[in-house]
Amino acid sequence: MKIAIGADHAGFRLKDEVIEFLKKEGHEVEDFGCHCADSIDYPDYALPVCEQVVAGTADRGILICGTGIGMTIAANKVTGIRCALVHDLFSAKATREHNDSNVLAMGERVIGPGVALEIIKVWLGTAFSEGPRHVNRIQKIKALEDRFAQG
């Protein structure tokens, strides 16, 4: 699987650990930064990851900031992205099965690398259920995107 990944200054350390883990698991990873603790703006790093996912040049995206909240908000402004903020294994599985999330957001200041790597393992290993009620809900999300998309 090809994974696009990005982080802000509060998430770049965990991002580096995630990249190492993903490569060991056999995934191809494209790193969109950032690479230092200098304060930056998370939307600038969320956008290129989401663009890769929407374009189909990445299968999934992972975003990391201090809490994961800012990255999640920014990512979900991109049409076609269903970004889930996840800090536990149950949510990692549920968001893939029920919401077909294509971007995962986490907070480095909220969870450590051990939990983060387990979340990623579950999230990448769980398929969308494709049950009628879940498909219907995804179609309704797409309808909302179409209705409120600008430009």
Residue positions annotated with a catalytic role? 65, 98
Distance of CA 3 to the CA centre of its chain: 9
Token pair listed for 56: 């189909």
CA distance 59 to 41: 24
CA distance 72 to 25: 25
| Most distant CA pair in the chain, distance | 46
Peptide bond into 50 cis (omega under 30): no
